[in-house]
Amino acid sequence: MQFKSSVRVLAVAMSLAVLAGCSSTGGTQDAAMDGTGGAGNGVGTGTAGAARVSGSGLGEGAGQMAGSRLPEVRTIYFAYDSDAIRPEFQPVLDAHARFLRSNPDASVMLQGHTDERGTREYNLALGERRAGAVERFLSVQGVSPSQVEVVSYGEERPAARGHSEEAYAQNRRVVFAY
């Protein structure tokens, strides 16, 4: 029980870090790709902050737990019209790779999503390309292909409603669904 609650504390700490990340750092990758300013940075950077914290938290503080417990951060975000895995999310992918390697019976569905801009069927293909990039990353890390499945939802299941850059940044994502 005590162990569980410490995980919860870690999760809360990470959530706080997400909020802190929003105001402190200035990841500009999305903004540069989008050709837009301010609004989009908040979300993009916020999640980046979370990824960094979770990386160090799992790597140093949690040790063995990283491989045996399901990683808390299960969504990573992408730049506009890009399937490149941003460096700040590599620790998240590392954590999932460790978990899947240590738990050969576990399997994950990688759900690829896009923002609403552009045509629906093309976006469905772009969402698959994003999830496929994550799948390849896990494969290189030694995760068995039989543990990983890819499904794209394109723009059909937005996480955030609205038509702002902020909403778009939250919707360009791959979700690890266990």
Partner 1 sequence: MRALMSTWVVVLLSLIAPLAQADLTIDITRGNERATPIAVVPFAEDGQTLPVDLARVVADDLERSGYFAPLERRAMFARPASGDEVAFGDWQALDTRYLVVGRVSREGEGIRIRYELLDVSGESRMLGERITAGQDQLRAAAHRISDQVFEAITGIRGAFSTRIAYVTSQGVGESTAYQLYVADADGRNSQQVLGSDQPIMSPAWSPDGNKLAYVSFETGRPAIYVQEVASGRRARVTSFEGLNSAPAWSPDGRRLAMALSRDGQPEIYVMDLASRNLERITDAPSIETEPAWSPDGDSLIYTSDRSGGPQIYRHDLRSGEVQRLTFTGDYNARGRFAPDGESLFLIHRGGNGYRVARQDLDNGRLVELGDAGQAESPSVAPNGTMVIFATQQGGTGVLGAVSADGRASFRLPAAQGDVREPAWSPFLN
Is the Cβ of residue 29 or residue 111 nearer to partner 1 in the bound state? Answer: 111
Q: Does 116 bind partner 1 (CB under 8 A)?
A: yes
Nearest approach, Cβ of 118 to partner 1 (angstroms)? 7
Q: Could you tell me which residues come within 8 angstroms of residue 177 by beta carbon, excluding any fewer than 6 positions away?
A: 74, 108, 109, 110, 111
Q: Which two tokens stand for residue 137?
A: 């990353």
Nearest approach, Cβ of 149 to partner 1 (angstroms)? 8
Per-residue binding letters, 125-154, with partner 1 (x by CB under 8 A)? xx-xx--------------------xxxxx
Q: What angle do CA 35, 40, 44 make, to 5 degrees?
A: 115
Nearest to 17 by CA among 62, 43, 51, 63: 51
Is the Cβ of residue 13 or residue 151 nearer to partner 1 in the bound state? Answer: 151
β pairing state of 75-77 and 148-154: unpaired
Stretch that binds partner 1, among 15-23, 64-72, 119-127, 137-145 (CB under 8 A): 119-127
Nearest approach, Cβ of 129 to partner 1 (angstroms)? 7
CA distance 36 to 79: 12
Nearest to 128 by CA among 155, 146, 101: 155
Q: Does 161 bind partner 1 (CB under 8 A)?
A: yes
- Give me the sheet containing 173-177, strands edge to edge: 75-77, 173-177, 108-113, 148-154
Is the Cβ of residue 142 or residue 156 nearer to partner 1 in the bound state? Answer: 156
Q: Quick one: which of 26, 37, 118, 142 contacts partner 1 (CB under 8 A)? A: 118
Interface with partner 1 (CB under 8 A): 116-122, 124-126, 128-129, 150-154, 156-163
